[in-house]
Amino acid sequence: MEFRRINGLPPYVFAEINALKIEARRAGIDVIDLGFGNPDIPSPAIAVEKLAEAAHNPKNHRYSASKGIPKLREAVSNLYLRKFQVELDPETEIVTTIGAKEGLSHLMWVLLGPGDTALVPSPSYPIHIYAPLFAGADVRHVRVGNDPSGEDFFAHLVEAWESVWPKPRVLVLSFPHNPTTTCVDLAWMTRVVEFAREHEVIVVHDFAYSDTSFDGYSPPSILQVPGAKEVAVELYTLTKSFSMAGWRVAFMVGNAEIVAALTKLKSYLDYGTFQPIQIAAIVAMNEASEYPKEVNEIYHHRRDSLCDGLARIGWEITKPRGTMFVWAPIPAPYQEMGSLEFAKFLISSAEVAVSPGVGFGPGGDGFVRFALIENEQRISQGVRNIRKALTRL
């Protein structure tokens, strides 16, 4: 059958790895799964309890508010004030979304159409590339290099801006960055906001790893930059920070006009997240506000187990300062395999699943991405398996 929008999509390369993983597990092999970024850490107990309690109340079984109930938006407003010293009006500057992914995808519908262009980092979390494409727009990839500070990226951004006509309407950003783990500071964000104001481009910052950072580094919210609200919106999600991936609770915050536009579109599309989930999310943010630190400590130890373990077997990787991933250049003796073949090799020979870099778009092929979603013992076992499999190291 012919379909619209999805026909041109390339086969999802992660699906190939997933199929191999399932096949191996069916054959009784205990694959250590560091592939998909699907958190294994439980959600805060207090939120789970509140969800169960609220689900028993029939009042909460009706349609809810698409933009999120007022107390939920207030809780995010308080979180931004506490954490980033950013003031947000819960009425006009916050809309609830069904995860950052849904928010970002529908946001592109109101920002972009045929004939428009978005600048998108590459390699990239796939929806950053596909959301503008689904909206009918063109995508210009902006290379995120190996410079961990994002300095290269800024230069590539200016270069891309200058070479595209008509001028891009939207710049997608996401730092700490999945998959490259590039992290930026507030000075960097300030330059981007200045650039956006000068060139009248809208900045969409996906802040999925706002709480996942190590070694004293604190990821900046773009809204900490004075004047950012004129040009920017940010997606904040409970998925990684509170380990609430399946709950589908996130927010788009910032520029009031853009918030109003997405709110309007969503009022046609959905009736909001199930109200008990919204109520439990309020409790998570208000009463488990330290939970993201606990989650972060777990990722920190896992990062060290993986990077130190791999370094000991001769696979040196710069430790990431943010995200729940390790972006690993394929070791030189295996480079010619490319990331898909190398990832398949790791499943069949080391019983370890990783994501091939090529799945994240141009620029990703020399790398594989480890997601820190298994415990330290399993990660150490994975490293031992890799040592046996990579005989050319």
Ligand X SMILES: Cc1ncc(COP(=O)(O)O)c(C=O)c1O
From 96-104, 216-224, 295-303, 334-342, span contacting ligand X (CB under 6 A): 96-104
Residues 42-81 interacting with ligand X (rule: CB under 6 A): none
Shortest reach from residue 205's CB to ligand X, in Å? 10
x-or-dash string of contact with ligand X, 138-177, rule CB under 6 A: ------------------------------------x---
Residues 186-205 interacting with ligand X (rule: CB under 6 A): none
Which CB atom, from 77 or from 105, has the smaller least distance to ligand X? 105
DSSP letters along 175-191, please? SSPTTT-----HHHHHH
Q: State phi, psi for 76 to the nearest 5 degrees.
A: -70, -40
| Sole residue written with tokens 């590539």 | 156
Residues 228-247 interacting with ligand X (rule: CB under 6 A): 237, 239, 245
Which CB atom, from 95 or from 350, has the smaller least distance to ligand X? 95
- Binding to ligand X by residue 120, rule CB under 6 A? no
Q: How many CB atoms are located within 10 Å of the residue 324 CB?
A: 27
- Binding to ligand X by residue 296, rule CB under 6 A? no
From 52-60, 95-103, 135-143, 272-280, span contacting ligand X (CB under 6 A): 95-103
CB distance 373 to 46 below 8 Å: no
Shortest reach from residue 171's CB to ligand X, in Å? 15
- Binding to ligand X by residue 178, rule CB under 6 A? yes
Q: Is 344 exposed, middle or buried (0-12, 13-18, 19+ CB in 10 A)?
A: middle
Give the residue ranges of DSSP H helices in the chain.
13-26, 45-55, 70-84, 99-111, 126-134, 151-163, 186-199, 238-241, 256-269, 275-287, 291-312, 338-345, 376-389
Distance from C-alpha of 358 to C-alpha of 367, rounded to nearest angstrom: 8
Which CB atom, from 110 or from 164, has the smaller least distance to ligand X? 110
Using CB under 6 A, which of 90, 99, 292, 382 touches ligand X? Answer: 99
Distance from C-alpha of 306 to C-alpha of 312, rounded to nearest angstrom: 10
Distance from C-alpha of 62 to C-alpha of 64, rounded to nearest angstrom: 6
Q: State phi, psi for 41 to the nearest 5 degrees.
A: -80, 135
Q: How many residues bind ligand X (CB under 6 A)?
A: 13
Residues of the shown chain interacting with ligand X in the complex, contacts defined by CB under 6 A: 37, 99-101, 125, 174, 178, 206, 208, 237, 239, 245, 250
